[in-house]
């Protein structure tokens, strides 16, 4: 059995997830998201969808991007 990197659970159904050059072993998607999902540069929430980007910075939504000064991003066209 393998051990989840986030919670330490020793589990027989772990999986390996790779994001970029980082690989981790987890027992649930919740633990994988906590360890691997990017965080919003403004509010810190984990970004599980596509988020929005301004340059090299990722935000969870256009509201957070605008609050951080990226005024060109909007929720709707």
Residues 6 and 30 in one domain: yes
Report the pLDDT value the prediction gives residue 29, as an integer from 0 to 100.
Answer: 96
Tell me how many domains the chain contains: 2
- Average pLDDT over the chain, rounded to whole? 94
Report the pLDDT value the prediction gives residue 74, as an integer from 0 to 100.
Answer: 81
Residues 73 and 51 in one domain: yes
What pTM was estimated for this model as a whole? Answer: 0.80
Residue listed under structure tokens 């969808």:
49
Query: For residue 12, what pLDDT band results from cuts at 50, 70 and 90?
Result: very high
Q: 2 is in which domain, residue-wise?
A: 1-36
Residues 74 and 43 in one domain: yes
């Amino acid at each position: 059995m393998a051990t989840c990197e986030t919670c330490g659970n020793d589990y027989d159904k772990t999986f390996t997830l790779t994001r970029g050059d980082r690989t981790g072993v987890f027992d649930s998607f919740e633990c994988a998201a906590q360890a691997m999902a990017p965080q919003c540069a403004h509010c810190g929430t984990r970004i599980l969808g596509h988020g929005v980007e301004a340059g090299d910075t990722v935000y969870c939504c256009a509201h957070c991007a605008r609050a951080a000064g990226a005024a060109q991003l909007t929720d709707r066209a």
